[in-house]
Amino acid sequence: MSVLALDTSSTSTVVGLLRSDGALFAAADRRGPGERAGHQERMLPLAAELLERAQLELAAIDSIAVGIGPGTFTGLRVGIATARALAQALGCAIVPVGSLRALALSAAVELRESAGAEGLVALTLTDARRGELFAAAYLCADAALGQTPRELLAPRAIAPGAIAAMIAQARAQAGSAALVAVGDGAGIVAAELAHGGVSVPPSTSAAHLIDGGALARLGALGEPEAIVAVAPDYCRAPDAEATAGPRGGVRAGVPA
């Protein structure tokens, strides 16, 4: 199965490709803090670049995998709308992938040499703005190189002050696996993570970034959904609706 994967949950535009022979290809447009995301300009050119490197035609793609967040409102809508359009045009399957789960697998692959026999628990933390973090925890057994990271704590939006309780919950389920915090939100709560005994890779480590290869691998392992059913998982009301209703588990659709 050949899988083309897209993620626009952050300011980075991430693209991955899994060829039917198992070869992985990845590319990304990384933006620094405060820089405007370039999803609309860079996503399809990056996909074309990977197809050329893999010597594949777009028509040969069997499945489109797309990151559904949590993440930025506009970014998720752009990525999911593009993935849905591609799947419809190609007549192929579309597979939603949790962006924090993809981050966990990316970290597990990057840190596999330092992971113990029990693997690691990735505490994934990304900056949700509005004074919050998007957070989740995944068990990446044996560095999760051949399987989907197992969700221990579901994605949620939390205040930085709640990170200590989340660390305790993750540690209670981690067993003997090491607990590692990854994502651009780790630096926001660095003191709390250190106090809780959670290791954090250096800020320059690729463990803090979603890798297109990991995203494509999760797409191959995931279950397809109907095109119209694939929608962003914001984990809270979008910014424009922040005062319009209760928070938590909001899934808003993308117009067809």
Q: Please state, in angstroms and rounded to a whole number, the distance separating the CA atoms of residues 228 and 81.
A: 10
Q: Per-residue pLDDT for 80 more than 80? A: yes
Q: Is the dihedral of CA 51, 58, 39, 7 positive or negative?
A: negative
What is the arrangement of strands in the sheet containing 13-18, beginning at the earlier edge strand? 24-29, 13-18, 3-7, 63-67, 93-97
Which pLDDT band holds residue 116 (cuts at 50, 70, 90)?
A: low
What one-character DSSP code corresponds to residue 94? Answer: E
Q: Give residues with Cβ within 8 angstroms of 105, minimum separation 6.
A: 138, 140, 144, 148, 149, 211, 214, 217, 218
Structure tokens at 15: 């693209």
> Which of 228-242 are b and which e, b meaning 16 or more Cβ less than 10 Å from the residue's Cβ?
eebbbbbbbbbeeee
Q: Cα 45–48–52 angle (5° rounding)?
A: 140
Q: Please answer whether residues 209 and 28 qualify as being in contact, where contact means their C-beta atoms are separated by less than 8 angstroms.
A: yes
Task: Note the pLDDT tens digit of each residue in 205-227.
Answer: 999 999 999 999 999 999 999 99
Q: What's the confidence (pLDDT) of residue 243? A: 43
Q: Which of 18-22, 85-89, 237-241, 242-246 has the lowest mean pLDDT?
A: 242-246
* pTM of this structure: 0.91
Task: Note the pLDDT tens digit of each residue in 9-41.
Answer: 999 999 999 999 999 999 999 987 778 899 999
- Domains defined for the chain, CATH in brackets: 3-99+209-241 (3.30.420.40), 100-208 (3.30.420.40)
- Mean pLDDT for the stretch of residues 165-182: 94
| HSE, side-chain direction, 13 A CA sphere, residue 115 | 25
